[in-house]
Amino acid sequence: AQSVTQLGSHVSVSEGALVLLRCNYSSSVPPYLFWYVQYPNQGLQLLLKYTSAATLVKGINGFEAEFKKSETSFHLTKPSAHMSDAAEYFCAVISRRGRLTGANNLFFGTGTRLTVIP
């Protein structure tokens, strides 16, 4: 089944430090991959998405992610963390069953809570 795994439910970084949030996918076909951010009691905001074009994807708020087929990874990075980056981050993939049925629903990882230490 097509799914994503997020390693680390909680990541803490100092303000100004590199942010690295990990996401690995399992798929027998090239997937479409997404990163979303969620602030408390809010919906999800799209940071970036991979659609089989460029492997390095740049998103909003200075985030980027690189699709690495050899590692089945799509890690999210940001060179310098800001206090406003503190939130929950979700990696997502269009589920295989969804693609087969045409529903194309998203399947979410378990999420990583990012804490930024001043």
Partner 1 sequence: GAVVSQHPSWVICKSGTSVKIECRSLDFQATTMFWYRQFPKQSLMLMATSNEGSKATYEQGVEKDKFLINHASLTLSTLTVTSAHPEDSSFYICSARDKDGVGIYGYTFGSGTRLTVV
Binding residues (CB under 8 A) for partner 1: these are 32, 34, 36, 41-46, 49, 51, 53, 90, 103-111, 113
Choice between 19 and 94, CB closer to partner 1? 94
Choice between 53 and 118, CB closer to partner 1? 53
| Pairing label, strands 19-21, 73-78 | antiparallel
Per-residue b or e along 58-87, where b marks 16 or more CB atoms closer than 10 Å to that residue's CB: ebeeebbbebeeeeebbbbebeebeeebbb
User: Cβ 107 to partner 1, closest distance in Å?
Assistant: 8
Choice between 9 and 80, CB closer to partner 1? 9
